[in-house]
Amino acid sequence: MMFRVYKSFLPEVAVGYEDPRVQVHISNGVEFMKTVPQGTYDAIMLDAFQNMGPTSKELSDIFLESVARALRPGDVMSTPADSFWHKDFVHCADTIANCRKIFKGSVNYAWTTIPAYERREGPPKFYNTQMHNAAFQVPCFVDKALGNQG
């Protein structure tokens, strides 16, 4: 699992795993989410989707509904998504549209580049408020595919 690699070889990146508020669950996510009481988590970060969507719409709905129940109101779920340059981006757009139905709050698609450089002591060299805000700016064709007003 990637987090074990981070802990072993990139401990400066893996510092968040030492936080007592962080819980890592590696298991069948569908089965695990069935056992989570409503309003348990502030944030859920998933690495669960291949090409931005589980194998069936029914499974996807059941799973995403269980994730929505497990979150406290106003809190967040994050999952990797395909690039909007990918030829099958329409699947990502369909999944986002489905999330908008299930999660009764804000659903956004964001993108970023991951710079490959060593982090040194001091403030980040790459990340700032402007870079964060820019992650939510996408080309017009993506806004249209996602059903945004744009």
Please report, rounded to a whole number, the percentage of residues in the chain having pLDDT higher than 70: 79
Does some domain include residue 54? yes
Pick the catalytic residue: 19, 42, 47, 61?
Answer: 47
| Domain encompassing residue 72 | 2-108
In a domain, 147, yes or no: no
Number of H helices, E strands in the chain: 6, 2
Q: What is the pLDDT of residue 36?
A: 94
| Start-to-end Cα distance in the chain | 38
Pairwise pLDDT comparison (81 vs 117), residue with the higher score = 81
Count: domains in the chain: 1
In-domain check, residue 81: yes
Task: Please indicate, yes or no, if residue 27 is contained in any of the structural domains.
Answer: yes
Q: Quick check: is 19 catalytic?
A: no
Q: Where are the alpha helices (DSSP H) in 71-136?
A: 89-102, 129-134
Q: Which residues contact 125 (CB under 8 A, 6 or more apart)?
A: 117, 119
User: Is 29 domain-assigned?
Assistant: yes
What's 68's domain CATH number?
Answer: 3.40.50.150
Q: What is the pLDDT of residues 50-104, one digit of tens each?
A: 544 445 565 678 888 999 999 998 888 888 777 777 777 777 778 788 888 888 8
pTM: 0.66
